[in-house]
């Protein structure tokens, strides 16, 4: 039997650790892993700017040298590099690092590091493996090969031309024409398409004339969608690819290139590396708020973080994705884009905070409308743009759909509980939710795999087959079934059985069966199984596994389970802390509720709704 006092002490340790990470204004900024891929692209961009503007060579010398030295220090034993310092080597990152060394004059015939990198590439299929890895999606394969062409490693004829002239068209038109890149990659489409046209124009004179006529207008559009920070999506790789492309077409002094360089200079770390993105401040703040027990947040902290969160809501049409007002991005910085994961997270956090004297109703109603407007015809929710379905990162996805459904449940419940229906102010939104929810669950039923699992879009596991993370996917989807009191439905039953059977012999969970246990995945799995009486023993073992790590301090060690754009691995230092706090808080809440009800059991009956702290007590 799990000791409740130990559970409470474990929560207090983990919660204190998390609260200590909050900033002076109450939010959490977190810390993303340093990235060999980001570092390689940044170093390449700086070198190519210096080639185009030799007078700036001294300005970039220390940055280039620092980045290359950091890469030298983090080469894996097999000669390659992974996306983080904890990641397995992969062909994409290794190729980018190799090309950066080649630009700097590291000859593989004379330099052992380059020789080992080239050997790794040869063993894993070389440049052809880049094309094969991403298939029809050119979002990342073409930028990688572009850097290789700029380094003189391949010819320009080996790159498919990107139709940058389509950048002249209105944004709404893109969903109908099946672009070879995803919606967020418009800057790469324009810049990389243009450098390919500049250095290897089409042999067809008609196409050549059309593309030349589109150069000026699409460059102006590129300038128009660049955020104030200079970083497209706050992402070093995307910004670097755009900047190096402009440099190679004699546009190193273009305003977009200048702002891109400023972004790279401001985002480099003291050790010489670059992260995959500047920060996930909004995302980790909402995760933290939703994880903590209400009594862990002081009134001042509640008011501070609520004010900050409301300030991050997008109030105008987004100039990049054309997203309507009402959503939240993952970051508080100008390069963020509203999406269907951060918006539900913010809705849940504001409902939980419910700050005194702060009117959050208008913000929440706008966010709910934003989510409902984003729902696809298939019933699911995509990340950024409704109606884009040609490529994976634009399609509906189970984890985002489940998150949206959860936020709609708690907002709707609050309206009904507060009697808002009586004055009619949100009746229309409630009616829309009542139509959207069945379609959302129907989408989840259709996308469930034969073994009962769902695969998420933004998380993976490097030890599992095809690097997927069904534990994360199942846990997130089951949370939606739990909150809507639908765990007794037929669809979640096979998922529940699969998740329980995936537990490792040590009591923890990895991303799939027979993968190493991690803090993040164990916390998520236990959180999903807690409502179910028959899995009390499994949950106790999982909680014991977590508490052992809390007491030893090792629960703070992150795993590279996060996936950024184009399946770039990252880890976030706060994830294991947040997920641990969340499941321990839920276990305590459930035990408290059970004691109040005098049922004599630490676990509720299967299918019973559990107040998660996301609105039940606001």
Other Cβ atoms less than 10 A from the Cβ of 398: the count is 26
CATH top class, domain 4-32+279-597: mainly alpha
The 3-state DSSP class for residue 235 equals strand
Lowest mean pLDDT among 30-34, 172-176, 301-305, 567-571: 172-176
CA-based radius of gyration for the chain: 25
- The answer, yes or no, to whether residue 608 has pLDDT greater than 80, is no
**What are the residue ranges spanned by the domains of the chain?**
4-32+279-597, 34-275
The 3-state DSSP class for residue 593 equals helix
Question: What is the predicted pLDDT for the residue at 20?
Answer: 97
- The answer, yes or no, to whether residue 376 has pLDDT greater than 70, is yes
Best CA proximity match to 183, nearest among 171, 165, 192? 171
Half-sphere exposure of 122 (CA within 13 A, CB side): 7
Half-sphere exposure of 444 (CA within 13 A, CB side): 31
Predicted confidence (pLDDT) per residue in 425-469, tens digit: 688 899 999 999 999 999 999 999 999 999 999 999 999 988 999
Contacts of 135 (CB under 8 A, 6+ apart): none
Best CA proximity match to 536, nearest among 494, 594, 490? 594
Half-sphere exposure of 115 (CA within 13 A, CB side): 4
Question: What is the predicted pLDDT for the residue at 393?
Answer: 66
Best CA proximity match to 470, nearest among 443, 497, 452? 452
- For 146-172, what is the mean pLDDT? 88
Q: How would residue 139 be classed by pLDDT, with cut points 50, 70 and 90?
A: confident
The 3-state DSSP class for residue 598 equals coil
Q: What is the C-alpha separation between 44 and 463, in angstroms, rounded?
A: 30
Best CA proximity match to 103, nearest among 199, 259, 244? 244
Q: How would residue 181 be classed by pLDDT, with cut points 50, 70 and 90?
A: low
CATH, domain range 34-275: 1.50.10.20
DSSP structure class, residue 505: T
**Better pLDDT: 424 or 219:** 219
**Better pLDDT: 54 or 603:** 54
Residue identified by tokens 């993968």 is 515
Burial per residue of 432-452, b for 16 or more beta-carbon CB atoms within 10 angstroms, e otherwise: bbeebbeebbebbeebbbeeb
Best CA proximity match to 148, nearest among 258, 275, 241, 232? 241
Contacts of 114 (CB under 8 A, 6+ apart): 98, 101, 102, 106, 107, 108
Q: What is the C-alpha separation between 433 and 444, in angstroms, rounded?
A: 16
DSSP structure class, residue 531: T
**Better pLDDT: 234 or 603:** 234
Q: What is the C-alpha separation between 49 and 57, in angstroms, rounded?
A: 8
Predicted confidence (pLDDT) per residue in 81-93, tens digit: 999 999 999 999 9
Q: How far is CA 99 from CA 114, 223, 597, in A?
A: 9, 27, 64
Predicted confidence (pLDDT) per residue in 461-480, tens digit: 999 988 999 999 999 999 99
Domains 4-32+279-597 and 34-275 share a fold: yes
Residue identified by tokens 């996301």 is 614
């Amino acid at each position: 039997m799990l000791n409740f006092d130990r559970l409470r002490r474990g929560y207090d340790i983990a919660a204190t650790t998390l609260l200590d990470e909050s900033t002076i204004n109450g939010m959490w900024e977190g810390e993303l892993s340093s990235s060999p891929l980001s570092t390689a692209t940044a170093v390449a961009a700086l070198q190519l700017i210096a080639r185009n503007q030799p007078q700036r060579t001294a300005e970039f010398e220390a940055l280039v040298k620092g980045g290359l030295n950091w890469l030298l220090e983090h080469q894996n034993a097999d000669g390659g590099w992974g996306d983080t310092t904890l990641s397995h080597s992969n062909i994409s990152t290794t190729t980018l690092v190799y090309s950066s060394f080649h630009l700097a004059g590291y000859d593989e015939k004379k330099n052992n590091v380059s020789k080992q990198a080239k050997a790794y590439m040869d063993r894993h299929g070389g440049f052809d493996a880049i094309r094969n890895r991403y298939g029809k999606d050119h979002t990342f394969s073409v930028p990688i090969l572009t850097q290789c062409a700029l380094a003189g490693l391949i010819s320009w004829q080996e790159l498919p031309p990107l139709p940058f002239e389509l950048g002249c068209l209105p944004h709404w038109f893109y969903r109908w024409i099946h672009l070879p890149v995803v919606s967020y990659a418009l800057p790469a489409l324009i810049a990389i398409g243009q450098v390919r046209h500049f250095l290897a124009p089409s042999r067809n004179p008609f196409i050549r004339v059309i593309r030349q006529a589109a150069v000026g207008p699409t460059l102006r559009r590129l300038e128009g969608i660049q955020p104030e920070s200079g970083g497209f999506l706050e992402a070093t790789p995307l910004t670097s690819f755009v900047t190096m492309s402009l440099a190679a077409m004699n546009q190193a002094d273009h305003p977009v290139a200048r702002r891109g360089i400023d972004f790279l200079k401001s985002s480099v770390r003291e050790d010489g590396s670059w992260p995959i993105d500047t920060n996930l401040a909004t995302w980790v703040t909402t995760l933290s708020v939703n994880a903590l027990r209400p009594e862990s947040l002081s009134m001042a902290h509640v008011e501070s973080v609520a004010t900050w969160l409301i300030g991050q809501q997008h109030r105008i049409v987004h100039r990049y994705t054309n997203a309507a007002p009402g959503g939240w991005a993952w970051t508080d910085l100008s390069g963020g884009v509203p999406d269907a994961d951060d918006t539900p997270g913010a809705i849940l956090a504001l409902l939980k905070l419910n700050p005194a004297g702060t009117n959050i109703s208008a913000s929440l109603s706008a966010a709910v409308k934003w989510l409902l407007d984003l729902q696809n015809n298939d019933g699911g929710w995509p990340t950024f743009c409704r109606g884009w379905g040609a490529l994976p990162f634009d399609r509906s996805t189970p984890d985002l759909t489940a998150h949206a459904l959860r936020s709609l449940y708690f907002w709707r419940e609050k309206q009904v509980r507060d009697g808002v229906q009586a004055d009619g102010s949100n009746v229309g939104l409630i009616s829309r939710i009542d139509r959207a929810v069945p379609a959302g669950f129907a989408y989840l039923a259709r996308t469930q795999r034969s073994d009962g699992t769902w695969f998420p879009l933004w998380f993976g596991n490097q030890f599992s087959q095809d690097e997927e993370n069904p534990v994360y996917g199942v846990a997130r989807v089951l949370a939606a079934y739990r909150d809507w009191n639908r765990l007794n439905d037929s669809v979640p039953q096979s998922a529940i059985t699969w998740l329980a059977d995936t537990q490792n012999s040590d009591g923890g969970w990895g991303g799939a069966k027979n993968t190493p246990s991690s803090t993040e995945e164990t916390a998520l799995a236990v959180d999903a199984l807690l409502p179910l009486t028959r899995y009390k023993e499994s949950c106790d073992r999982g909680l014991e596994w977590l508490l052992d790590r809390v007491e030893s301090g090792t629960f703070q060690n992150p795993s590279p389970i996060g996936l950024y754009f184009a399946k770039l691995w990252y880890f976030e230092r706060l994830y294991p802390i947040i997920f641990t706090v969340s499941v321990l808080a839920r276990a305590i809440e459930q035990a408290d509720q059970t004691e109040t009800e005098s049922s004599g059991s630490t676990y509720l009956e299967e299918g019973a709704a559990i107040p998660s702290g996301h609105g039940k007590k606001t």
